[in-house]
Amino acid sequence: MFLSDGKRYITYVLSLLTLLGCALLSLDSLNSGIIDHTFHNMFVTDPMSNILKIFSYLAVGLTLIYSRQYATGRGIVGGNLGGEFYVLALFALLGQMIMISGNNFLIIYLGLELMSLSLYALVGLRREHKVSTEAAMKYFILGAMASGFLLYGMSMLYGATGSLDLTEVAKATATGAVDRTVLVFGIVFLVSGLAFKLGVVPFHMWAPDVYQGAPTAVTLLLGGAPKLAAFAIFIRLLVGGLLPLAFDWQQMLVILSVLSMAIGNIAAIAQTNLKRMLAYSTISQMGFMLLGLLSGVVAGSTAPAANAYSSAMFYTITYVLTTLGTFGIIMLLSRKGFEAENIEDFKGLNQRSPWFALVMLLLMFSLAGIPPMMGFYAKLSVIQAVLGTGQTWLAILAILFSLIGAFYYLRVVKVMYFDEAIDRSPIVFNKDMYAALSVNAIIVVGVGLMPGALMALCTVAMSKVVGT
C-alpha cells in the first residue's frame, strides 16, 4: 500500500517468492505421497490437491510476470494497477487453494466466495472505465445468483444426508436409504452453481462481457487458475461425495457439454474482439472437458473412472497453460491507452516479431487441437474416455465441433502471417516476460510430444480420489 509506483517491483518480487515457497511445500507433500485430513476432516491433502495447487501457483505466477508491464500503466485506462492488484490476486489464489482441498460443503463454499469476491473487485478496478464497471456489476450479480444455487443445493443435500462432510455424504448416499428425490433436486442446484463458475452453457452469459470488460491482466486471472479450482470442486462434490448418484449428474453434464461445445464454437466465429472470442473458446473448451467427467461411471461400474477423470484433469491443466500464453501475447502488444484486444491488432505480427508470432501460432494450434501440441493429446484422451462409455455419437459431435473451432483459431494465424501490419512500431518487453512466454510455448510443444509424465500424475491423483 505504501510503496510508490516506482518501487512496485518489490511487491512483484515478494509475490513471486511467496508463490515459489508455496509450490515447494506442495511439491514436498506430493513427493511424500501423504493423504491426510485436518480441521476435523474438513481439509484434505492428497495427490490431486497438490498437483492442482502447483499448477495454480504456476498459473498465477505467469499471470504476474505477463502483467508486470501492463499493471504499471501499459494498456490501463484510468491509471495503474497498484498493490491491490497483487494482494487481490493472492487472496483469490488462497480461495482456490481452499476450494481444491475442501472436504466439507461449507469449507468449499468459503473458498469459493473468497476467490469470487477478490475477482469481483479485480474486474472493477478501473472505476472510471464504463465497460469495466458494467462487467464487474454483471459478474457480481450473476455470481451472487450462482452462489445462491450452490448453497440451496448444499442445504438440500445436508437435509437429506444429515452431514456437511463429503465423506459422510458419500457413505449416506451409498446406503440407498436417503430420499432420492431430495438428493436429485440438490444435485440439480449444485451442478447449476458449479456450471456458472466453470462458465458453461446455459450459465455462460457473464463470460464474454467480463472477459472483454476486465483489464487483460484480470481476464487472465479469471481464465487461468480458477478453472483448476472449479475442476477440483466438481471432483470433490460430484465424485468424492455423490459418486453413487453418478447416473443422475452425468445426464446433466451431457446436456451442458453439448450445448457448450455448440454455442461456444459457433458464437466465437462471429467475434472480432479477441478477448471475447477467447471467452467463447473457453466455454467450448470447458464443455469438452466435461466429456471426461461424464465418462467415469458406465452401467454402474466405476472401472473406467480413474482414466476418464484423469483425462478431464489433464485437459483442464493443458487448457490453462495454453490460455496463459495467449493472454500474455495480448498484454505484450498492449500499450498505455491501447488494448491489443481486436483480431485486427495482430495483423502482420510476423513482420514485427517472428518469434512472438510463432509463440501465438503454437498456442492457437494447441487450442485447436492440432498435433503435435498438447491440446491435441488432451482432446484425444477425452474422446477415448467417451468412446469407452459406448456413446459414439457424443465423440463424433465433439470432433465436429472441434473442426468448427479450428476456423477461428486459424483465423488469428492467418492475420498474423498473411496480412499487412497496421502498426510497425517495435514491441517493448521485459526479459522476464520474454523468457516466460518462450518457456510457455516450449511446454505446449514438449507436453504434446511427451504427455506421459503429466498424464501419469493425473491418473495417480484420480486413482486416489475414486479409491482404485
| pLDDT at site 67 | 85
List, as one string, the DSSP characters of 128-185: T-HHHHHHHHHHHHHHHHHHHHHHHHHHHHHHHHS-SBHHHHHHHHHHT-S-HHHHHH
Q: Could you tell me which residues come within 8 angstroms of residue 144 by beta carbon, excluding any fewer than 6 positions away? A: none
DSSP-assigned states of every residue in 317-361: HHHHHHHHHHHHHHHHH-BTTB---BGGGGTTHHHH-HHHHHHHH
CB atoms within 10 A of CB 353: 18
Confidence of residue 152 (pLDDT cuts 50, 70, 90): very high
Res 337: pLDDT: 61
Alpha carbon distance 226, 240 (integer Å): 20
Euclidean distance between CA atoms 40 and 43, whole angstroms: 8
- Helix (H) or strand (E) holding 205, with range, is none
User: CA nearest 144: which of 155, 132, 156, 152?
Assistant: 152
The Cα–Cα gap between 127 and 328 comes to 23
Alpha carbons 290 and 264: distance in angstroms, whole number: 14
| Predicted pLDDT at 277 | 92
Whether residue 75 has pLDDT greater than 70: no
Euclidean distance between CA atoms 174 and 118, whole angstroms? 37
Distance CA 65, CA 332 (A): 11
Read out DSSP for 252-281? HHHHHHHHHHHHHHHHHHT--BHHHHHHHH
Give the whole-number percent of the chain exceeding pLDDT 70: 96
Compute the average pLDDT of residues 63-68: 87
Count of other CB atoms within 10 angstroms of residue 114: 19
Instruction: Give the pLDDT mean for 166-188.
Output: 88
Q: What is the pLDDT of residue 112?
A: 92
What 3-state DSSP class applies to 104? strand
pLDDT at 3 over 80: no
d(CA 122, CA 116) in angstroms, rounded, equals 10
Is residue 293's pLDDT more than 60? yes
Distance CA 136, CA 265 (A): 25
Count CB atoms within 10 A of the CB of residue 17.
Answer: 10
Q: Is the N-terminal amide bond of 371 cis, ω within 30° of 0?
A: no
Give pLDDT, residue 76.
46
**Residues 456-462, mean pLDDT to the nearest whole number:** 91
Which tens digit of pLDDT belongs to each residue from 248-286?
899 999 999 999 999 999 999 988 889 999 999 999 999
Is there a contact between 251 and 191 (Cβ–Cβ < 8 Å)? no
Model confidence at 77, in pLDDT bands (50, 70, 90)? very low
Name residue 248's amino acid. Answer: D
pLDDT of residue 289: 92
Say what the pTM is: 0.92
Nearest Cα residue to 62 out of 243, 281, 297, 322: 322
Q: Residue 295 contacts by C-beta under 8 Å, 6 or more apart in sequence?
A: 304, 308, 311, 382, 385, 386, 388, 389, 391
- Model confidence pLDDT, tens digit, residues 340-386: 788 888 888 888 888 889 999 999 999 998 988 998 999 999 999 99
How far is residue 436's CA from residue 218's CA, in Å, rounded to a whole number? 18
